[in-house]
Structure 1
Amino acid sequence: MSGIVVVFDFDKTIVDVDSDNWVIDELGFTDLFNRLLPTMPWNSLMDRMMMELHSHGKTIQDVERVLRTIPLHPRVIPAIKAAHALGCDLRIVSDANMFFIETILNHLGIRAYFSEINTNPGYVNEEGRLRILPYHDFNKASHGCTLCPPNMCKGLIIDRIQESISQENKRIIYLGDGSGDYCPSLRLKENDFMMPRKNFPVWDLICKDPSVIKAEINGWSDGEELEQVLLHLINKISIEEKAHLISSDCKLQTLSVSALESLPKVLPVRP
């Protein structure tokens, strides 16, 4: 296993559109969604929309059907498979929901490549409708971050991931597109890498003052460039790791030679 954790956002990063909008639009509820959007947080609105879909006769099978048709760039899946084959630990941090993400990943045959999915809970209740809940229950307590929406602070998730890998000296490559990916980019360390999607909200936020980002910034525009940049960074880290191991071995050998040379010289005893 390499010392690399690759963290993907989901919407407009793994898939090429917003999965929430895709479901609402494909099932014909865009107008209602737009009317309700100014009245409540996005995450709460999606739960409300799932209730509206159910009350209008749309089934969970209808939701699954449109999720299986979601567009994505043809080079994204090969990039994910290549990163996994190279030993990277792949994780998702997304403001979508578990039901949407797992339905799509299972359809694409890549669910098993991810060790962890951090997202809003989504499940089918006893009435057969999808419930979508907040990752952070903001009705009980605020997560305290002013940069993020009330239901999810991705920065806090990155903090937890960093803490879990701190003893292993692993490095993070983070890929994202939205404004919610800005907070975690601020949490990355100097030996990490940030991959913002060019000309998307997180790119615009970073470009305002790149100096506040400690990680190395590597932009990408589409799935083909995502694959190229990601595999380049994985290769770069692997080369650095090998060079560090060789350097460490050389130091050990030098120490060993020095230790031998420092031993007291004992003249042979004449028989």
Structure 2
Amino acid sequence: MSGIVVIFDFDKTIIDIDSDNWVVDELGATDLFNQLLPTMPWNSIMDKMMKELHLQGKSIEDIEEVLKRVPIHPRVVLVVKAAYALGCDLRVLSDANLFYIKTILEHLEIQECFSEINTNPGFVDEEGKLRILPYHDFHTFSHGCNLCPPNMCKGKIIERIQATLEKKRIIYLGDGAGDFCPSLKLTKEDYMMPRKDFPVWELICKNRHLLQADVHEWTNGVDLERVLIQLITTVISMDDDSTQLFDCKFEKIAHKVLPKPVYVP
């Protein structure tokens, strides 16, 4: 093992769009979603949207087919496989839901690369409809963080992960405002990779003094691959003087796992 834990946000990080919006738009329910948006938390809206789509005759198979068409940069698939092959512990931390994430990762054939998926529960109930529930049951108790949405505090999840690690460095990748709280939990031994010109990048730029972690921005899939591999190389070379071996090994792995493009036609 490399001694590195790489934690990925999902929407607009692993995939190029927001999965909730993608499903709603592709299944023709945008107008209803926009009507509900001012009335309740996002997570609750998505659960209600799944009920409405079920009433309209949309099946689980319809949702799965939409998810399999989600746009993703092929270099992201490459770097996930390469980082896994090089011994990094890969995890997902996302405010999407388990059904979406598992369906997409399985379709891309990279689910086995991840040791853990932290997200909102998403499951098919006995009536055959998709249910999307909050990670933190905010109807029962509050997680107490004013930086995060009521259904999920990513910072508390990072703290739980940190409590289980010994002598490991975290590399965290994200784009949204919800990724700011966990960035504050990272230590000076860790790295934060915010997507440039996205909400978390803007928050970090305004509050850089609050972060202990080293910050490295990225813009797209090609950039994500370049920056992440550079950071993994840096950590491995610091922990073990084997940078040259690493570079040769990555070159072989990259050639082996280079995926076919999976952009939406």
How does the TM-score come out when normalised to structure 2? 0.90
Q: Distance in 1 between matches of 2:167 and 2:85?
A: 20
Q: Distance in 1 between matches of 2:218 and 2:2?
A: 23
Match of residue 206 from structure 2: 208
Q: Distance in 2 between matches of 1:87 and 1:242?
A: 13
Match of residue 17 from structure 1: 17
| Cα deviations by residue, 1:18-43 (Å, 9 ceiling, x for unpaired) | 00000000000001000100000000
Q: Distance in 1 between matches of 2:79 and 2:104?
A: 17
| 2:158 counterpart of 1:158 | yes
Q: Distance in 2 between matches of 1:141 and 1:180?
A: 19
- Count residues with an aligned counterpart: 242
Match of residue 149 from structure 2: 149
Match of residue 255 from structure 1: none
Residue 92 of structure 1 and its aligned partner are, at CA, apart by 0.3
| 2:241 counterpart of 1:226 | no
Deviates more, 1:206-215 or 1:108-117: 206-215
Match of residue 117 from structure 1: 117
* Equivalent residue in structure 1 for 2:174, among 176, 181, 184: 176
Gaps of 5+ in 2: 243-265
| 2:74 counterpart of 1:74 | yes
| Cα deviations by residue, 1:48-82 (Å, 9 ceiling, x for unpaired) | 00000000111111000000000011100001011
**Counterpart of 2:164 in 1: which secondary structure?**
helix
Match of residue 252 from structure 2: none
Structure 1 segments, 4+ long, off by >3 Å, are none
Q: Name the % identity.
A: 66
Matches within 5 A, 1:1-271: 1-165=1-165, 168-243=166-241
Q: Distance in 1 between matches of 2:86 and 2:228?
A: 12
Q: Distance in 1 between matches of 2:200 and 2:141?
A: 26
RMSD: 0.9
| Cα deviations by residue, 1:177-233 (Å, 9 ceiling, x for unpaired) | 000000000000001000000000000000002111100000000000000000000
Q: Read off the aligned partner of 1:138 and give its amino acid letter.
A: F
**Counterpart of 2:152 in 1: which secondary structure?**
coil
Q: Distance in 2 between matches of 1:177 and 1:52?
A: 29
Residue 242 of structure 1 and its aligned partner are, at CA, apart by 1.4
Q: Read off the aligned partner of 2:77 and give its amino acid letter.
A: I
Q: Distance in 2 between matches of 1:209 and 1:136?
A: 27
Q: Distance in 2 between matches of 1:130 and 1:184?
A: 28
Residue 243 of structure 1 and its aligned partner are, at CA, apart by 4.9
Q: Which has the larger radius of gyration?
A: 1
**Counterpart of 1:96 in 2: which secondary structure?**
strand
Q: Distance in 1 between matches of 2:73 and 2:114?
A: 19
Q: Read off the aligned partner of 1:162 and give its amino acid letter.
A: Q
| Cα deviations by residue, 1:96-138 (Å, 9 ceiling, x for unpaired) | 0000000000000000000000000000001100000000000
How does the TM-score come out when normalised to structure 1? 0.88
Q: Distance in 2 between matches of 1:243 and 1:215?
A: 23
Q: Distance in 1 between matches of 2:161 and 2:125?
A: 30
Q: Distance in 2 between matches of 1:125 and 1:85?
A: 36
